[in-house]
Amino acid sequence: MSNEAIKATVNGQFEFPELDASQLDIIAEGDRHFHILNGNKAYRAEVVDHDLTHKTFRIKVNGSIYEVKLFDQYDQLIKKLGLAKQSQQKVKDIKAPMPGLVLSVSVAAGQTVQKGDSLLILEAMKMENVIKSPGEGVVKAVAIQQGQAVEKGFVLIEME
């Protein structure tokens, strides 16, 4: 491992400012299994899943699963300069992408939605289109009801 400082977050809440793998005794036991000694403590670890592009790992240590995200020197510099992209996008209003008929509405006022959540089904040209949330937010008001015909650009759901 190089001498650059690597930072990590575990389960999105615990931060480790500098990791030094040279203090660990790591023995590979196959492709994804490892035996780790840290001082007088022993751990059995398995890499369950990984995404090298995003530097994320799911690791099972002594039977417990942990989500780990690593930040190399470049990631840390981008964050320090304030150039890190926002991972969560706030939603304003959901508008009809095309004219159609509202078949069903899956949300109600006051409901919190996440990116990708199904909001409603809009039938257009005999096809059912699931309208999903492009980001996170709270439903302020549902401006449509089942069976209603809408035009392109019509506000379907107001978000706050």
Q: What is the pLDDT of residues 8-54, one digit of tens each?
A: 888 888 888 776 677 788 899 988 999 999 888 999 999 999 988 88
- As for how many domains the chain has, the answer is 2
At 137, the pLDDT band (50, 70, 90 cuts) reads: confident
Q: What is the mean pLDDT of the chain?
A: 87
Domain boundary among 33, 48, 80: 80
Choose the final residue of a domain: 20, 51, 80. Answer: 80
Distances (CA, A) of 43 to 20, 40, 47, 114, 154: 17, 10, 13, 36, 57
Q: Is residue 88 part of a domain?
A: no
Structure tokens that stand for 114 in this block:
């996440």
Q: What is the pTM (predicted TM-score) of this model?
A: 0.46
What is the arithmetic mean of pLDDT over 76-101? 78
Model confidence at 90, pLDDT cuts 50, 70, 90, reads low
Domain co-membership, 65 together with 12: yes
Query: pLDDT at residue 143 above 70?
Result: yes
| 6-10: long-range contacts, CB 8 A cutoff, minimum separation 24 | 6/70, 6/71, 6/72, 7/70, 7/71, 7/75, 7/76, 8/68, 8/69, 8/70, 8/71, 9/68, 9/69, 9/71, 10/66, 10/67, 10/68
Q: Is the pLDDT of residue 61 over 70?
A: yes
Q: Which domain holds residue 127?
A: 93-159
Domain C-terminal end among 49, 80, 111: 80
Percent of the chain with pLDDT over 70: 91
10 and 76 both lie in a single domain = yes
